[in-house]
């Protein structure tokens, strides 16, 4: 007598299909940072950066001397310098994050683990961002030195450094996205530099060329203070007791209506950082006599590099001033009020670009891949 045994139905083993997002990102971040810190080139880059920033700061300190707003000028200079070189360093830290592992044969090992493409990209981006922030932290002694000299409001300093860190993060996100879409590290690095150049330099070029498209003939009324005729001696100097009078001129001129094209500059990283800073205007020197553009008892106010960029953008937003009074002429060196900030539009454009590249990169890293470019290494 035989007994028939029924085959037992196997029960599927439940396993997690992915790691928790913070754990996975921390794992990728740790691997990336250990790999960066293991090489000597990283420390050479940081050392060179510190020496260059220190040299520029000390040189500027000697040139500026006892100029009014010395601390503000130096602080703006360091922020602009860190942003400029950060735009050069960040692509090198991020633009080979994905295809560099693909070329080394380690990307496939990560893809067959429980890591998802989004977690992999987030970890790579975070490591690149922290790496770029290291250059900002290394510049902190000179930033604190500039703050100690005075002339910089605490809110201005915090917003400047915060927006600077955000811009470095956006550039790193663009670099990581391009590195996943490009097959060769060299091509992705060059492509990222081209995107950064388009934002930083291309926008200025396009804006300058576009001014020729918005030229209009306008009637300009310009007023200014001047000494009356006959009040000058033989040497051309005004005679003692001569008083300034308001002189008004009216003429026709071709002027660009820049208020229609200022949006082109919105995505520029320098414009985003400069326009976001709430520069203080309460403690600036006031002219004491009519027609004087500087205080009678001291040096005049001098804006810094980033503040000059901010004032230039605000002036372009306002358009040409066709009716300048004598009172406005005496305030030529004072900052313009910030009515409608342009930096939210620029930062939104940059974030949309970075998000689009990362979404396309996530789709390309999804496994199994249906199609691969010829010559793509998978293991």
In which band, very low, low, confident or very high, does the pLDDT at 6 lie, cut at 50, 70 and 90?
A: very low
Task: Identify whether 289 is part of a domain.
Answer: no
Task: Identify whether 86 is part of a domain.
Answer: yes
In which band, very low, low, confident or very high, does the pLDDT at 331 lie, cut at 50, 70 and 90?
A: low
In tens, the pLDDT along 265-290 reads 999 999 999 999 887 655 555 554 44
Q: How many independent structural domains does the chain possess? A: 1
In tens, the pLDDT along 246-270 reads 777 787 878 888 888 999 999 999 9
Domain with 62 in it: 21-209+342-365
Give the mean pLDDT of 71-95: 87
Q: What is the DSSP string of 29-48?
A: HHHHHHHHHHSHHHHHHHHH
Task: Identify whether 277 is part of a domain.
Answer: no
CA gap 360, 354 in Å, rounded = 10
In which band, very low, low, confident or very high, does the pLDDT at 13 lie, cut at 50, 70 and 90?
A: very low
Task: Identify whether 237 is part of a domain.
Answer: no
Task: Identify whether 58 is part of a domain.
Answer: yes
Task: Identify whether 50 is part of a domain.
Answer: yes
> Which residues lie closer than 8 Å to 42 by C-beta, 6 or more apart?
36
Task: Identify whether 377 is part of a domain.
Answer: no
Q: Is the sign of the CA dihedral 123, 127, 128, 132 positive or negative?
A: positive
Query: Which span out of 20-29, 46-55, 343-352, 364-373 was modeled with the highest average pLDDT?
Result: 343-352
CA gap 272, 258 in Å, rounded = 18
In which band, very low, low, confident or very high, does the pLDDT at 236 lie, cut at 50, 70 and 90?
A: low
Task: Identify whether 224 is part of a domain.
Answer: no
Query: Residue 362: helix, strand or coil by DSSP?
Result: helix
Give the residue from 176, 199, 171, 5 showing the smallest Cα distance to 82: 171
């Amino acid at each position: 007598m035989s007994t028939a045994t029924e085959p037992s139905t196997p029960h599927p083993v439940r396993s997690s299909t992915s790691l928790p997002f913070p754990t996975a990102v921390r794992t990728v971040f740790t691997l990336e940072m250990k790999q960066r810190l293991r090489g000597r080139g990283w420390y050479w880059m940081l050392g060179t950066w510190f020496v260059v920033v220190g040299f520029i700061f000390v040189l500027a300190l000697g040139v500026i001397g006892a100029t009014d707003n010395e601390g503000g000028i130096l602080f703006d200079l360091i922020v602009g310098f860190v942003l400029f070189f950060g735009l050069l360093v960040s692509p090198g830290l991020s633009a080979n994050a994905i295809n560099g592992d693909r070329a080394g044969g380690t990307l496939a090992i990560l893809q067959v683990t429980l890591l998802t493409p989004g977690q992999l990209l987030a970890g790579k981006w975070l490591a690149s961002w922290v790496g770029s922030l290291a250059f900002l932290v290394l510049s902190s002694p000179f930033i604190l030195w500039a703050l100690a000299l005075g002339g910089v409001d605490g809110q201005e300093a915090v917003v400047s450094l915060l927006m600077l860190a955000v811009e470095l993060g956006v550039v790193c996100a663009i670099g990581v996205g391009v590195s996943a879409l490009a097959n060769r590290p060299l091509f992705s690095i060059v492509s990222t530099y081209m995107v950064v150049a388009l934002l930083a330099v291309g926008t200025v070029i396009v804006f300058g060329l576009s001014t020729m498209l918005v030229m209009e003939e306008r009637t300009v009324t310009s007023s200014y203070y001047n000494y009356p005729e006959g009040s000058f001696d033989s040497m051309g100097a005004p005679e003692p007791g001569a008083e300034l009078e308001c002189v008004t001129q009216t003429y026709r001129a071709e002027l660009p209506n820049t208020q229609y094209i200022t949006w082109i500059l919105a995505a520029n990283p320098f414009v985003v950082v400069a326009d976001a800073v709430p520069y203080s205007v309460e403690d600036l020197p006031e002219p004491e006599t009519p027609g004087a553009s500087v205080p009678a008892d001291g040096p005049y106010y001098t804006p810094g590099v980033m503040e000059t960029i901010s004032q230039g953008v605000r002036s372009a937003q306002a358009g040409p001033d066709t009716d300048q009074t004598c009172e406005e002429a005496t305030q030529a060196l004072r900052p313009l009020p910030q009515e409608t900030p342009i930096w939210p539009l620029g930062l939104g454009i940059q974030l949309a670009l970075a998000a689009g590249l990362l979404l396309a990169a996530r789709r390309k890293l999804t496994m199994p891949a249906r199609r691969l470019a010829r010559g793509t290494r998978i293991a």
